[in-house]
Amino acid sequence: MSRPLRVLVVDDEPLARSGVAELAGRDPELDVVGECGDGAGALAAIRSLRPDLVLLDVQMPELDGFELLRRLEPGERPAVVFITAYDHFAVRAFDVHAIDYLVKPFDDARFAEAVARAKAAIRHTRSGTLNDRLSGLLEQLAGGTPAGGWLSRIVVKTGGRAVLVRVDEIDWIEAADYCVKLHVQGKVHVMRESLQALETRLDPARYFRVHRSAIVNLDRVTELSPFFRGEHVVLLRDGTKLKLSRGRRAELESRLGQPL
């Protein structure tokens, strides 16, 4: 009998992480060699533990799952089953390049199906092929438009419910520690994702990062006013005022197609 596959579980939510590790531990063909709660720790663990398979949460603060994999050399990358809260429009890239992915919340049967696919791929597929698939996914996500197009809606988990937010209804997006706040017609939805990661999935023709902590929907911009020593303030339809980083005025005017 061949040795069990070495598995690393990576998720920043302790309950989710322990749940995935428990599910993996029930499989006699898997050996859970470690658990990590952040991308930096996972990066070190992958290099030291050399797992065959990583069950990887995509949305983590500071260093998300995609950036974690980008920091590994192709020869260091293990097989990966992604765990994600992305809606079905955003996971089409996974269909092409990933062994499998789990969309939260998932049940035991779906987990077993994903793991079975991963085991089969690892046992019967050359490691170079798996690395090519991962590299293809990372290149596609870094290269601009995701496989399924720019985000049209976002799933926000709150109080045991899944709220579907239409991206074109968002007024602006605010960074808040390891989360973002979606400001939508007077309501605020909080989701665990970095502003930088979310920005890569938004259409740059419609959404603009006015400074390090805020992205605006350009359709909501009504005015640009001088602020202090060459800086400016962006005014939105709902009355929100946001500071525009120094030197970004020209780019903002270019995006809008006219001077303000």
The string of pLDDT tens digits covering residues 108-156 is: 999 999 999 889 888 776 555 566 656 655 555 544 445 445 778 887 8
Residue 218 lies in a domain: yes
Same domain assignment for residues 132 and 19: yes
Q: What pLDDT sits at residue 102?
A: 85
Number of domains in the chain: 2
Domain boundary among 122, 142, 162: 142
Asked whether residue 148 is assigned to any structural domain, the reply reads no
Q: Does one domain contain both 235 and 173?
A: yes
Residue 176 lies in a domain: yes
Structural domain contains residue 46: yes
Do 111 and 195 share a domain, yes or no? no
Q: Tell me which residue of 145, 209, 204 sits closest to 173, measured CA to CA.
A: 209
With respect to residue 147, please indicate whether it lies within any of the assigned structural domains: no
Q: Do 136 and 164 sit in the same domain of this protein?
A: no
pLDDT of residue 89: 39
Which phi and psi angles does 127 have, rounded to 5°? Answer: -60, -35
Is the same domain home to 31 and 117?
yes
| pLDDT tens column, 176-189 | 887 899 999 999 99
Task: Say if CB 37 and CB 17 are below 8 A apart.
Answer: yes
Out of 91, 121, 142, a domain closes at 142
Triad 30, 32, 35: Cα angle to 5°: 150
Asked if residue 185 and residue 90 are part of one domain, the reply reads: no
Residues 9 and 138 reside in one and the same domain: yes
Q: Is residue 65 part of a domain?
A: yes
Please report whether residue 112 resides in a domain: yes
Structure tokens at 149: 């197009």
CATH assignment at residue 18: 3.40.50.2300
pTM to 2 decimal places: 0.56
Q: What is the pLDDT of residue 228?
A: 72
DSSP secondary structure letters along 12-68: SSHHHHHHHHHHHHT-TTEEEEEEESSHHHHHHHHHHH--SEEEEES--SSS-HHHH
Assess contact for 65 and 58: CB atoms under 8 A.
yes
Residues making up the chain, counted from first to last: 260
**DSSP H or E segment with residue 235:** strand 232-236
Instruction: Find the CATH number of the domain harbouring 162.
Output: 2.40.50.1020
CB 80 within 8 A of CB 53: yes
Residues 118 and 198 occupy one common structural domain: no
Domain final position from 119, 142, 165: 142
Bond before 78 cis per omega within 30 degrees: no
Question: Same structural domain for residues 205 and 225?
Answer: yes
- Spatial distance between the Cα atoms of 28 and 94, rounded to a whole number of angstroms: 27
Same domain, 163 and 135: no
Q: Which domain holds residue 186?
A: 153-256
| Residue type for position 227 | F
Do 84 and 158 fall within a single domain?
no
**Residues 45 and 138 grouped into a single domain:** yes
Which segments of the chain have a pLDDT < 50? 1, 88-90, 93, 96, 142-145, 147-148
Token duo for residue 101? 């992915």
